[in-house]
Structure 1
């Protein structure tokens, strides 16, 4: 950006046409503003001083492509004069020729100055485990030659991941090391189980006038799915951050659910009418079976299904699961259940907002309570809406939940889906629901 401004100012100094100068200044200010927005968006300011030329070049190419799009839009839609448009084109098209080389020269000069002895930062890492290894990689990758890693301080009860030759002492003797060696900064990277030692490290650093950075062991506490956020004026951690917690992802899935369900009901309406007639002819009773299931947040809702049995759950207190060769299932019901045709009315549940097309299957209240007590993390599957089909079902874990393995596998597959959600995964599951034999293997 500095290059663009410098060249533009130099050129405008030698142009005597005041009207042309005025237009050019307006265009230049607009270009600077556009550049600033784009560079902030791709986080250029966070990476341009990293000792990685390839990263800087890639980021500048991204900006250049976006600026070309800006020029095309400028030429096509905005009613400026040809002279003004030519100024914009000249500034933008001249950027890669002069901007990238000048930037690389400036950044490399700054990095060289920072790497001189007077600017070298001597860093000591407290910890020798996985976190310490990650810190080492980060320091070497992003801070270049101006950071000199002195070594690692070992804490008791901590498994050593870094090389033993890199360990320069232990926590009990950290004062001796700081007294006899130049250290500008200590990076604390120790696991939760030895976190009580943090204060003693800070005390030693304060005594010797050494700066301290603390890398919290969030992964050791919360696992992989966490997010650092704000709670008013306080720092906070979302302990189980899932893809669908993001507003954009939630909106995308919700829109897909509504559009897909409306299209499915419209396209399948002739089949739905035929099935309704066949159900009435096959056995006495209503066309629809509407049991209560447990949905998002543990709240009950009424689910719509085609009736596939001669008697509903009311006759058994709602606690009798479907068994293989269950005598209650009608002849037509066996076909409906085998190919999941009894679930078609649940597209209405999706339109009503109780369900999604894809998600963990909803269970009855008594079964929900049983699984909550016997399967670890089971209730996490209720963070989001239940689905007509799901990842567990297309992997063969539908049907009974009589054994510990069946209950565990169904829950594990549901949680995996929630952690890995993407729109493409939903589409895959819908495809497998229709065409995979595994989906219908345990259906009865």
Structure 2
């Protein structure tokens, strides 16, 4: 077994142990509460325990709770645990309510079990974190690293290492072949030596990791470093510069024996696609049931406001740039779906009185929950634009069409950050695309839930919505 495979094996065993400990904690929390209030553990509580553990495990996998957190934020992990336990208990409560079985259980017992579970799950992780942190401060499990390239990327990496001492990294210095006079905007005194000096430290085993922070344009120099260190045991990591960070979702793969790096690839694949689709189906079905009176009321208002259809189905680009029909309540006296579509502007005479209200409050977008059920859209994703606007802006905005590597959404990261409505300047569209691509690069089910939550406070209205 090579070194990489060994670490993957150890990591898998460690993550499996984390799952077992979490299950034991939730189980023991229930037993403690039941014992404290003299409640007998029976098949009813076994049923609710099994349900909570199922939901907790399912959601935990979706949120990446059991990934490596050595380089992650502990506060983020705590929020994920809180969210995970909360949703698991809420879903189990909903199931019990729907099947009229909730009266069997003590509400106080369930509430106490929930609180104790959250406290215990966070507490044991905090203890483990502090033990690791103390050990690393004392010099145990500390990894010495070198940074090749006194660049902005390298300096950012160094700052993160200094900021997070719990990582257990000790930087021995920066190594670069450039003269100090050629280094701009950075402190040249940080230089420790040349790149050959860093390579020698790696070959003699004085460092465990070597981070290459050179520009991707220095391909030959990077290839030389990798080739030279081929006979050492040091971990060599290439830190992406601005160019690589603007690629979609880069990760290593292979075709047979040939290694590949994905450049423009959707982050939603495999089980992640299943998780996102599950969320879309459950949320959209619940939303349609809840808002059905609103849908009926708006439909009547649109019908009474002006002649024309109630629904407007406009051609837009969906996943992979395929055309879909996006449903909206008609808000104008016209239903433009031609090669040229004029965006709505302030005081637009085409907008009806009812249309002005439902556009301002985003009520015209509600029929798109049916697009979600049909699998043409997602609850969260980049907003779909009219085909004519796509053809216009794909020529003007870099990486514009990468928005279509995921399903378009009813709401999105750009919308909750204020970039919705009319895009009367190129800058507005560039900012919208910037936020859309940030969402795609960093997608997680937790981020979808966060965006849905923020939509209730910021996403329904906007200063550029007419």
> Given the two structures, how large is their TM-score scaled by the length of structure 1?
0.61
Match of 1:436 among 431, 446, 458: 458
Shift of 1:347: 0.9
Residues 194 and 393 of structure 1: CA distance in aligned 2, closer, same or farther (over 3 Å): closer
Shift of 1:290: 0.9
Residues 300 and 212 of structure 1: CA distance in aligned 2, closer, same or farther (over 3 Å): same
**1:228 aligned residue:** 252
**For 1:229 and 1:199, how far apart are their aligned partners in 2?**
19
Number of residues of Structure 1 aligned to a counterpart in Structure 2: 343
**2:178 aligned residue:** 156
**2:422 aligned residue:** 400
Shift of 1:169: 5.0
Shift of 1:165: 8.0
Contact kept, 8 Å, 2:383 with 2:410, in 1: the verdict is yes
Contact kept, 8 Å, 1:305 with 1:346, in 2: the verdict is yes
Match of 1:167 among 187, 192, 205: 192
Gaps of 5+ in 2: 1-7, 29-40, 43-131, 133-138
**For 1:182 and 1:271, how far apart are their aligned partners in 2?**
66
**1:349 aligned residue:** 371
**For 2:229 and 2:357, how far apart are their aligned partners in 1?**
73
**2:240 aligned residue:** 219
Residues 193 and 66 of structure 1: CA distance in aligned 2, closer, same or farther (over 3 Å): same
Match of 2:318 among 295, 298, 304: 295
- 2:333 is aligned with 1:313: no
Q: Deviations over 1:387-444 (max 9, x none)?
A: 1122222333222111122111211222222233333433343344344387243322
- 2:442 is aligned with 1:420: yes
Q: Deviations over 1:369-388 (max 9, x none)?
A: 11111112211111111111
**1:65 aligned residue:** 21
Q: Deviations over 1:236-293 (max 9, x none)?
A: 2223566x43534332221111111112222222332232223222222211111111
- 2:303 is aligned with 1:280: yes
Match of 1:41 among 12, 26, 29: 12
Shift of 1:351: 0.5
Secondary structure of 1:301 counterpart: strand
**2:80 aligned residue:** none
Mapping of 1:40-439 within 5 angstroms? 41-43=12-14, 62=18, 65=21, 154-156=176-178, 159=183, 167-168=192-193, 171=196, 184=204, 189=212, 191=214, 192-197=216-221, 211=232, 215=236, 217=238, 219-220=240-241, 222-223=244-245, 225-239=249-263, 244-313=267-336, 318-436=340-458, 439=461
Residues 415 and 266 of structure 1: CA distance in aligned 2, closer, same or farther (over 3 Å): same
**For 1:392 and 1:70, how far apart are their aligned partners in 2?**
37
Residues 159 and 344 of structure 1: CA distance in aligned 2, closer, same or farther (over 3 Å): same
Shift of 1:167: 3.1
Residues 287 and 232 of structure 1: CA distance in aligned 2, closer, same or farther (over 3 Å): same
Residues 249 and 215 of structure 1: CA distance in aligned 2, closer, same or farther (over 3 Å): same
**For 2:202 and 2:262, how far apart are their aligned partners in 1?**
39
**For 1:133 and 1:413, how far apart are their aligned partners in 2?**
22
**For 2:219 and 2:454, how far apart are their aligned partners in 1?**
47
Secondary structure of 1:258 counterpart: helix
Q: CA RMSD in A?
A: 4.9
Secondary structure of 2:415 counterpart: helix
**For 2:381 and 2:195, how far apart are their aligned partners in 1?**
50
- Structure number with larger C-alpha Rg: 1
Secondary structure of 2:279 counterpart: helix
Residues 215 and 134 of structure 1: CA distance in aligned 2, closer, same or farther (over 3 Å): farther
Residues 367 and 42 of structure 1: CA distance in aligned 2, closer, same or farther (over 3 Å): same
Contact kept, 8 Å, 1:399 with 1:442, in 2: the verdict is yes
Contact kept, 8 Å, 1:124 with 1:152, in 2: the verdict is yes
Secondary structure of 1:402 counterpart: coil
Q: Deviations over 1:269-324 (max 9, x none)?
A: 2332232223222222211111111111111111111111222215x754222122
Shift of 1:133: 10
Contact kept, 8 Å, 1:393 with 1:439, in 2: the verdict is no
**For 1:281 and 1:312, how far apart are their aligned partners in 2?**
17
Residues 235 and 283 of structure 1: CA distance in aligned 2, closer, same or farther (over 3 Å): same
Residues 334 and 236 of structure 1: CA distance in aligned 2, closer, same or farther (over 3 Å): same
> Given the two structures, how large is their TM-score scaled by the length of structure 2?
0.58
Contact kept, 8 Å, 2:418 with 2:462, in 1: the verdict is yes
Contact kept, 8 Å, 1:124 with 1:183, in 2: the verdict is no
**For 2:226 and 2:272, how far apart are their aligned partners in 1?**
41
Contact kept, 8 Å, 1:396 with 1:438, in 2: the verdict is no
Residues 166 and 42 of structure 1: CA distance in aligned 2, closer, same or farther (over 3 Å): farther
